[in-house]
Amino acid sequence: MYTNRNPFGGNQFGNQNPFDDLLKKKKEKEKEPEAYDSNGKKIRKKPPYKRMVAALIVIFAVITGMNSYYVLDEDNYAVVTTLGNPQAVSKAGLHFKIPYVQNVRLVSKIITGMPIGYDIETKASIDEESVMITKDFNFVNTDFYLEYMVSDPVKYLYASQDPEATLKMLAQSYIRDTVGIYTVDDVITTGKAAIQSEIKEKLTNRMIQEDIGLSVVNITIQDAFPPTEEVMNAFKNVENAKQGKETAINNANKDRSEKIPQAEAECDQIIKEAEAEKQSRINEAQGQVSRFEQMYAEYSKYPLITKQRMFYETMEDVLPSLKVYIVDEAGTQKMLPLDSFMDMPAGQGSQPVPSPQQPAAGAGQEQTQNTEQQGN
C-alpha cells in the first residue's frame, strides 16, 4: 500500500508533520524554569487530575448546600417526601431538608377555575359538554364555571393519578343529572340559582367520599340558551315580558307606598276634625242643657215673670228686622217703619191701645202680686 508519510518528521515531498508542533511545545514546557517559594523550596505543580477532583468537590458542596433548604410562600403547600413517606408543610418561611434524601414538591393553595362546556380562551361552545336534555324533553346549551382548591396536598399528589380530570368528570355527571329534572324555562330563566346550589351540594358530598384532596368552592352557570335561534328569540321575549311584569309590579308598589301614607294622613286629619266637631257639639249641647236647666229653675220659681221676660227678649230680636206692609182698599201699599218706633224716645207718640187679651194695669199688678205670693 502506498503512503506519503515519513516516519522521520516529514513526508517524501518535504512537507512538515503536524505532530512536530505538539512535540516542540511539550519540550518548551519541560525547559521552563522551576519556581521556588520564599524558603527556597521548590514548588511542585499539582497534577491536572487533582485540580479536577477539587473542582468537582466544590461543585458537589455547592449543590448539596442549595438542596439543604427551601422557601415556602403563602400561596403554596410543600409536600416533603422522606424515603417514600410524604408529609405536608403549610407554614410559610425558610425550611431545611436532608439533601438527596428528602424531596419537596409545591402544591398551590389558591382557588382555581375550570370551564365546563366551553373553551375559556376562544369562548367557543363545546357541544359534547354543554348540550343536554331537560325534564320537558327540550335541548339546552349550558355553560358552567367550576371553582375548586386543594384541601389536602398529600392526597392530591398521591391518592389519584389525575384529580382534576376526576373532578371534571363528576361535575359533568351531576350537571346533567340536575339539569334533567328541571324544565327548559327554569334552566334558562328562573331556576339558575336552585340548579347551581343543588349541583354544588351533590358534588361537594361526592368529593368528600372520593377523598382525593380537592374541595369545591363554587359552581356557576355562565350561560344557558336553546340550541336554535327561533327558540332563543322566543325565550328572550318571555324574559322581556317577565322583566316588564316585574317593572310594573315595582312601579305599582312604589305608587302604593306613596299614596297609602298620604291617605292615612288624610284619614287621620278627618278623624281629628270629626273628633273636634264632636267635642264642640257636645260642649255646645251641654251648655244649652245647662242654660235650659238654669232657665227651668228660674221658671219654676216665677213662671209668669219668666214667660214675659222670654217674650220680651224674643221680640227684641225679632222686631228690628220686621217690616210691616199695610194695604188699603185701593191696593196702595204702605210700609210701616218700625225702626222709627224703636228709636222713638219714651213719652212721644200715641199711647198703645191695649189689646182685648191684654189685662188692665191694675189687674196685671194684682196678678203679679198674686204670683209672687204663690212663689213665696
pLDDT of residue 351: 44
Low-confidence ranges of the chain (pLDDT < 50): 1-15, 341, 346-376
Give every CB contact of residue 224 below 8 A, 6+ residues apart in sequence.
140, 141, 142, 143, 187, 188, 192
Give every CB contact of residue 289 below 8 A, 6+ residues apart in sequence.
none
253-292: pLDDT as tens digits:
999 888 898 899 999 999 999 999 999 999 999 998 988 8
pLDDT of residue 327: 72
Report how far apart, in Å, the C-alpha atoms of 187 and of each of 78, 138, 372 are.
42, 11, 106
Helix (H) or strand (E) holding 245: helix 229-301
pLDDT of residue 354: 42
Outline where DSSP puts E strands in the chain.
Answer: 69-72, 76-82, 85-89, 93-96, 102-108, 112-116, 131-133, 139-150, 214-225, 324-327, 333-336
Residue 131, strand partner residues: 141
The 3 state secondary structure assigned to 249-310 is: HHHHHHHHHHHHHHHHHHHHHHHHHHHHHHHHHHHHHHHHHHHHHHHHHHHHHCHHHHHHHH
Domains and CATH numbers, the chain: 35-106 (no CATH), 110-226 (3.30.479.30)
Q: Which three cell numbers stand for residue 133?
A: 336534555
For cell 505543580, the residue is 45
DSSP assignments along 63-99, one per residue: HHHHTTEEEE-TTEEEEEEETTEEEEE---EEEE--T
Which pTM does this prediction carry? 0.48
List the Cα angle 229/231/234 in 5-degree steps: 110
Residue 215, strand partner residues: 149
pLDDT of residue 214: 93
Query: In the Cβ-directed half-sphere of 82, how many Cα atoms lie within 13 Å?
Result: 6
pLDDT of residue 337: 55
pLDDT of residue 28: 58
